[in-house]
Structure 1
Amino acid sequence: MWRTVAEPTRTPTTRRSRSRPAVRAGLLGNFVDQFDIFLPIIALAPVAALVLGPESAAAQTGLIFVATLFGRPLGAAIFGSIADRHGRTRTTKIAIAGIAITTLMIAFIPGQDIGGVWTLWAFVALRFVGGTFLGGEYTAAIPLAMEWTTPRRRGMLSGGIMAMSPLANATIAALTLLLVQTLGVQAYAAWGWRLPFIVGAIMAFGLLWYYSAHVMDAPATASAPRRAHPVRDILAGPYRRQLWQVFVLMTGLWLFTQMAIPVLTGMLRDAPQVGPSEVAFIMLIATLVSAVSMYTAGVVSQRIGRRRFFVIFGAVALIAAPLAFAWALGSHGAGLITAVTLVQVVTVSAYGPVGAYLAERFSTGVRSSGYGVGYSLSIVVPALYPFWLPGLQAGIGPVLAVCAVLAVASALLVAGAALGPEPARDAPLA
């Protein structure tokens, strides 16, 4: 069994010097993770019909995104168990290597003009495998960062880690916008779309080097007793109540994500008043603002409590999120940018405390498994939106259907938080 051996004595300065690499790696790791997750949605948005084929480009990119998200629960279960039993740092390195390789392979998929229908299925297959490794990365890396962090800084670190998601989205949007405007739509469709995937692979290889050179498991965690079957313990054993409570809360958050990012992006792309390059610019502005609000959410949760934060946020979002979405689809110009930004702020900002909250809800022996499975298993129903959302939209209207889903997401967030206790946010992780 692999483990890091702690020294008999350590000064506070020594602990700080060893905790900083793990904290930095947690921040950078979630940036790389989120960059990879949303690459197809944003980078392919301007040219999906040319790269994947003219048949329902929005549905095709949605299918690729779903494949990524479906791989994540599998990866969380596999790598969470490995991380709890054999160490979080080693597990993280394996997962990052897989992310780097699969992302690089996507950059060499032939376009639809050469590969035909197999182009789409090559994307789907590689994104599923990549999603499995992505599920392993945050399952090990974020609990590791939290275990190295002092209790009073957990909310701030959680907000910073979760803010990497909108920052990653903003980076993809900026890179896509730059490439489309520099190369032109035809050149970008022919080969330019591959560059963001190459960038993603390079970042993952760089992160792998950083973990190998600088990061180790927290001493208290490395010396803690190991559970023989951590995944079984959280699914049907003594930690099942924590898991299913987290599942309800995270399902609400994932519904927010699907409606506020891929669904909104697709609907904007199809809107007559919005050009292809404008979508990337609008999402760039909105995600930059939501990064700040997500970080702020983590800090606020440290002051008022994670449970109280989620309940208050969900109650506000119940009204604000549907109204903001309806405003966004009926606006143009500066009003459109403002409305899309508001959608991001009143939905995905709630992720700010999640890194700390999930780490606090599970003890050391099952922390990676509980964090990863709770975070990822809740993706399943929201990720199937390409299959259930169109029917709902056909029944009650495209915008009203999304507004209804946002209301349900708000209610699930409130219910999930209310079902659980307030974690001991000012105490060391158990």
Structure 2
Amino acid sequence: MESTQSRATAISLAPAPVGSPTSNRSRRATRAAFFGFAVDYYDIYLPVVALAPAIHYFQPASISGSLETTLFYLTFACTLIGRPIGSALFGSLSDRIGRRRSTLIAVAGFTVATLLMAALPGHETWGYGGLIALMGLRLIGGVFMGGEYTSANPLALETCPPQKRGFVGALIAGAYPIGYIAISAVTLPLLQLLPSDGLDSAYVQWGWRIPFVIGGLLGVAFFWYFYRSVEESEVWEKAAATTNQTKAKTPLKQLFARENARRLLQVFTLMTGLWFAVQSIVTPVSGLLISSLGQDADAVTVALLVANIFLFAGYLLYGVLGQRFGRRRVLIITGIATATVAALTFYATLHTLGTGGGLAAATAMYTIGLVVAIGPYGVATVYLLEAFPTRVRASGYGVAYSFSLVIPSFYSFYMLWLEDLMPYEYTPIVLLTLGGLLTTVGALLGPETKDVELA
């Protein structure tokens, strides 16, 4: 596609024979994008899963519970703030110098940042300097993380046969729960083996560093695989060969011109809704369950691990449905379901735990809400990439995907403001409902894209 759907070519690309060079290239690019996204999300959720039981290491003992929770959320939010910056920088870089080279630069950057975080001293040694350094490295790492998926994901989808884009896009997006499962699988045994009670306990003093080191090593492995196995996108190479680089506008200037700008606004609205869903039903949950509702940290880790296994299956299901019935239609329906079904099941989860109910029943209800609200990401990844022409595809995808999370990333402050109107633990439900409504509106404003050619 060299413009939006209205100018898409009618040529149907036949699938490459199994075992052909094109088929092998597509599989390698898909594996790399999936693995890279999984490592990205593993690193993103390090504070939420691995550092949550040891957050006292970076904080003074005298602060209030609400301030402690807010600082914990800000540590996570620093990464989310850095990602839009990285997506804009690397999206433009990817459209100009190629998807492959941009991906390698980005992976090297967030790998170094993750390894540096593993070596940080805590509040006893550096005071608030340790927390500031942690947030600073999370911000820098977020910039490079934004560059990774902004470059690797367009490469994979541009290499993929059209009739498989729905499944491949869902598979790549499904790396999110896989990354979460991986960090949980690393952290849970550590919490079982190492004491995590009190500032002087083994996990609080040094055990939390192990998941960070593993995250850095995964980044090294991904860099090596991508460097050795993945070729540049032929779609990008052909587009670059036909563009006069001396006269062409920069990708970001093209992105904000006319029809591209209208599509950007539409998918930005859609993604803002999806990010509000994440920031309400995913990000604050471990902190709410452990700090506000008094649940055991180990049990919470297991519960969220189980929920994310089902979420991965939900991603694939949504991707297949989007390929068959249309991405736009699936996004409209799931947006409505998020504002209703997901909001009600999340309320039931919190109410059950708040009134002394069992964690198993609460986990089942939470899993339903999680799949309903977050599963649409299995459709959104490919929908965004189909929205823009090749010369601005990485820029458009990166900006729409990442800048849309800026407003939702301040969810911790919205929760504090809403605390004046309702119990603090129920405040995410308001944000979840808002997310569903914005997702529906964003999808209604846009066209169907599943038959658009990327070449």
**1:53 lines up with 2:60 in the alignment:** yes
> Residue in 2 aligned with 1:3?
none
Q: TM-score, normalised on structure 1?
A: 0.94
Which of 272, 282, 294 is the matching residue for 1:251? 272
* Structure 1, 135-144 or 403-412: larger mean CA deviation: 403-412
CA distance in 1, matches of 2:175, 2:189: 21
Question: Any conservation in 1 of the 2:178–2:309 contact (CA below 8 Å)?
Answer: yes
* CA drift at 1:66: 1.1
CA distance in 2, matches of 1:400, 1:214: 47
Identity %: 38
* Structure 1, 392-401 or 176-185: larger mean CA deviation: 392-401
**1:132 lines up with 2:158 in the alignment:** no
2:345 corresponds to which letter in structure 1?
Answer: A
* Structure 1, 293-302 or 42-51: larger mean CA deviation: 42-51
CA distance in 2, matches of 1:72, 1:217: 23
* CA drift at 1:50: 3.4
**1:220 lines up with 2:206 in the alignment:** no
Question: Any conservation in 2 of the 1:85–1:228 contact (CA below 8 Å)?
Answer: no
> Residue in 1 aligned with 2:345?
324
* CA drift at 1:426: 3.5
> Residue in 2 aligned with 1:150?
161
CA distance in 1, matches of 2:274, 2:184: 22
Aligned pairs, how many?
A: 420
> Residue in 2 aligned with 1:113?
124
> Residue in 2 aligned with 1:417?
443
Helix, strand or coil: the match of 1:396?
A: coil
> Residue in 2 aligned with 1:314?
335
Question: Any conservation in 1 of the 2:342–2:373 contact (CA below 8 Å)?
Answer: yes
Deviations 1:322-378 (A, max 9, x none): 111111112223211112212211211110112211110011000000000000110
Change (3 A) 1:392 1:383: same
Which of 286, 305, 316 is the matching residue for 1:265? 286
1:370 corresponds to which letter in structure 2?
Answer: G
**1:25 lines up with 2:36 in the alignment:** no
* Structure 1, 114-123 or 219-228: larger mean CA deviation: 219-228
1:203 corresponds to which letter in structure 2?
Answer: L
> Residue in 2 aligned with 1:291?
312
Question: Any conservation in 2 of the 1:249–1:417 contact (CA below 8 Å)?
Answer: yes
Question: Any conservation in 1 of the 2:166–2:379 contact (CA below 8 Å)?
Answer: yes
**1:196 lines up with 2:211 in the alignment:** yes
Which of 359, 376, 394 is the matching residue for 2:385? 359
Greater helix share, 1 or 2?
Answer: 1
2:453 corresponds to which letter in structure 1?
Answer: P
CA distance in 1, matches of 2:170, 2:235: 24
Change (3 A) 1:49 1:259: same
Helix, strand or coil: the match of 2:239?
A: coil
**RMSD of aligned C-alpha atoms?**
1.6
* CA drift at 1:150: 0.4
1:429 corresponds to which letter in structure 2?
Answer: L
* Structure 1, 27-36 or 315-324: larger mean CA deviation: 315-324
Q: TM-score, normalised on structure 2?
A: 0.89
Gaps of 5+ in 1: 1-10
CA distance in 2, matches of 1:313, 1:301: 11
